[in-house]
Amino acid sequence: MKIQRLKAAALALATVVLLTGCETMPQAGGSGGLNVLSSALGGGSGGGSRAGGVLDVIQGASAAFKDYTAEEQRALGNDFSSVLLGARPLLRNEAVQRYVNQVGWWVAAQAEKPKDKDGKEIQFAWRFGVIDSDAVNAYATPGGFVFVTVGLMRQLKSESELAGVLGHEIAHVTRGHYLAALKKGGFAQAVGGVVQARSGNAMVSSAMVNFAKNLYSKGLDQGDEFDADRQGVLYAARAGYAPVGLPTVLNMYATGSSADQNFTLLFKTHPAPKDRLEKLQPFMSSKFSTVASNVSNEARYDAIKRQLR
């Protein structure tokens, strides 16, 4: 029964992705904004990828990619996603899912593409989803699955804030943070078995799912979170959004009540919001002191937000 539920969740997410693929990314505000999504996916070196005056490209994704093929990463993503969707299902709202996929795909198109252990550029099969949970949080998996919760979306006030949050999670994938955690946990040599698990090696898959549960309950290294904050701001800015989106979200976290149970896991698995803001401030000052972009798309985000239960 559990396997059937997970398959149903995966099918629902795949349906969202297929539906989203037929759409284009709407224009962002009055500044010329975002290009057609299909064009963005065709290449990251065009004008859109330089949006907001961001000319510097930060290279050097984690060396952990050298231990995994793209196929292994996709298999890991499936297992990690089964943990998340097994706990809470996807929100049953096609318009909301489509919208988050559109924003996510556009931001992801601005990220660098690391290379796998064979030296091949990794083409992530990005999938975005909204989890039907009141908890305030966002998650990513190896291979390109990214999720935000309904609880978090209720707290956000603009599309630029959503773009910053998605950029942070995208960075966890492109920078190899989860893969590094796997290697640190002693799973690097066992990951090849994850692919074989699809044909019956349940022991390896079970061990990996247990590792994922533990990882999501404890969180990544603080250094990885700080790195994802910087990269998340960069990706969102390249996409044409106001770079203050993510810092605004972190400020919201900092002013939130630690007694609110919906924030409990977020605070447990991440550095203190004030520490994240302090670490991010020098980057903001050096990279975005003269950025002209102020695209936030508050009205468009509010229209989606009103559809959340």
Convert the pLDDT of each residue in 79-102 to its tens digit.
899 999 999 999 999 999 999 999
Question: What pLDDT is stored for residue 184 in this prediction?
Answer: 84
Residue 150 has pLDDT above 70, yes or no: yes
303 or 204: which leads in pLDDT: 303
pLDDT digits (tens, 9 = 90+) for 210-221: 888 999 999 999
What pLDDT does 183 receive? 83
**Does some domain include residue 171?**
yes
The pLDDT value given to residue 34: 31
Mean pLDDT on 285-294: 77
Looking at residue 206, what is its pLDDT?
A: 77
- Which stretches of the chain are DSSP H helices? 2-20, 37-42, 70-87, 94-108, 150-155, 159-174, 177-184, 192-197, 202-218, 222-238, 245-255, 264-269, 273-287, 298-305
Q: Provide the edge-to-edge strand list for the sheet that holds 138-140.
A: 127-131, 145-149, 138-140
Top pLDDT among 140 and 39 is at 140
Query: Quick one: what percent of the chain has pLDDT higher than 90?
Result: 51
Please state, rounded to an integer, the average pLDDT across all residues of the chain. 78
| pLDDT score, position 17 | 45
pLDDT (tens digit, 9 = 90+) per residue, 38-80? 222 222 333 333 333 333 333 344 467 877 878 888 888 988 9
Higher pLDDT, 129 or 119: 129
Instruction: Summarize the confidence of residues 223-232 as an average pLDDT.
Output: 96
pLDDT of 197: 47
pLDDT tens per residue across span 123-133: 898 999 999 99
- The mean-pLDDT minimum among 24-28, 151-155, 237-241, 304-308 falls in 24-28
Domain assignment of residue 49, yes or no: no
Tell me the residue range of the domain where 104 lies: 2-14+56-305
In this prediction, residues 103-127 reach a mean pLDDT of: 90
Number of domains in the chain: 1
pLDDT at 18 over 60: no
DSSP letters for 225-291: HHHHHHHHHHHHHHTTS-TTHHHHHHHHHHHS-TT-GGGHHHHHHS--HHHHHHHHHHHHHHHSTT-
Mean pLDDT for 175-179 is 93
Task: Give the pLDDT confidence score for residue 166 in this predicted structure.
Answer: 98
Averaged pLDDT, 237-246: 95
- Residue 279 maps to a domain: yes
CB distance 200 to 194 below 8 Å: no
Q: If residue 127 lies in a helix (H) or strand (E), which one and from where to where?
A: strand 127-131
The residues pairing with 147 across neighbouring beta strands, listed in sequence order, are 129, 139
For residue 123, being part of any structural domain is answered with yes
Do the domain assignments include residue 50? no
Is the pLDDT at 239 greater than 80? The verdict is yes
Q: Is the pLDDT of residue 120 over 90?
A: no
Tens-place pLDDT, residues 181-208: 988 877 765 555 554 544 455 555 777 7
What local confidence, expressed as pLDDT, does residue 261 receive?
83
Q: How much is the average pLDDT of 260-270?
A: 87
Q: What is the pLDDT of residue 122?
A: 87
